[in-house]
Amino acid sequence: MTKQWSAAAAALALSAAMILCAQAKAQGGQSAPPQPASGELTGLAHIALRVSDLDREVDFFGKLGFEEAFSNVDQGRILQVFIKVNDVQFIEVYPQTDSAQPLGFMHACFESGDLKALYARYSAAGLRPTPVRMAGAGNLLSTMKDPQGRVVEFTQYMPDSRHMRDKGEHLGERRISDELLGFELPVDDVAREQKFYEALGFDAEPEGANVRLSIPANPDLRIELHPAKVNGQPQFLFPVDDARRAAGELHGAGLKVVREKKLVFVRDPDGNAFVLLETGGHSPRRLIPWRR
């Protein structure tokens, strides 16, 4: 097991414990998460990746059981592919069109039930989001940049968007997970990034040199900021019911996996890191044997 995976194992094991603790409280009769007020964040809508080979990347996600929902095409050229995790969470995959474009993580997009109200709140706080506009797939969109210059997106799903027209579709039984739980993000200045995310409405919990972020409306959402290191990269987190079984399914699909107790690590063709975290009964869905 590499040093990077070992460090991730220690950090994500704590995430698992925190998630399971929250579940135990909920089952014990504790109050449910508060309903989001107008103009607040409700969850993680998508992550975006730029890849060297679009077909190869779509095939990789297919081996995880995630299906292509739709794509944006311009004059016969695919601009992006939308891989579906569930009805409100996607992975956007962009092809590299110029060798100068960096591969890997591009941005994260967070959902709001009222993007115009969110825009007004952020603008009043001096955060300088871009004006709300209609994006190509039919949803409202606004963006801003974090202290490191990385794009952060905000969206509101619209009833007739391509995402919502696909509701209930492309939810294959072979999905290794049915939720994008969050991600781990290396940053140059953890304190500055923490302040930025707190201004966006995230709750921040320091853990040594790292900071864990969540939102009141979705306490299961997990984003971890940690000091950037040489060759450090984001890692994307998905819950599974049984790590051993998940590892077996992915191995059977022809993927190289590493399992460390309740964590399973797998990389896409460009080396992007995906972590499957065993959370027991986190989801009502149960894993089923891989079907070829």
Q: What pLDDT digit, counting tens, does each position of 239-279 carry?
A: 999 999 999 999 999 999 999 999 999 999 999 999 999 98
**Quick check: do 3-26+172-278 and 41-165 share a fold?**
yes
Is the predicted pLDDT of residue 289 greater than 60, yes or no?
no
Q: What is the mean pLDDT of the segment spanning 143-154?
A: 97
* Strand, coil or helix: 110: strand
Considering the domain 3-26+172-278 in this protein, what is its CATH number?
A: 3.10.180.10
The CA–CA distances, whole Å, from 35 to 179, 182, 210, 221 equal: 20, 20, 28, 15
What's the mean pLDDT when you consider all of the chain? 87
258 vs 160: CA distance, rounded Å: 41
Residue 3 has what pLDDT? Answer: 53
- The β-bridge relationship of strands 218-227 and 235-240 is unpaired
- CB-CB neighbours of 180 under 10 Å: 25
- CB-CB neighbours of 8 under 10 Å: 22
Q: What is the mean pLDDT of the segment spanning 186-200?
A: 97
All structural domains of the chain with their residue ranges: 3-26+172-278, 41-165
Of 132, 135, 136, 138, nearest in space to 165 by CA: 138
Residue 230 has what pLDDT? Answer: 86
Residue 107 has what pLDDT? Answer: 97
Q: What is the mean pLDDT of the segment spanning 157-162?
A: 97
Token couple for 124: 């009043």
Pick the CATH number of 41-165 from 3.40.1190.20, 3.10.180.10, 3.40.50.300, 3.40.50.720: 3.10.180.10
Is the predicted pLDDT of residue 292 greater than 60, yes or no?
no
Sign of CA dihedral 207, 144, 147, 114: negative
147 vs 193: CA distance, rounded Å: 6
The answer to whether residues 25 and 283 touch, using CB atoms and an 8 Å cutoff, is no
- Tens digits of per-residue pLDDT, 20-45? 444 444 444 444 444 555 679 999 99
Using a pLDDT cut of 70, give the percent of the chain over it.
83
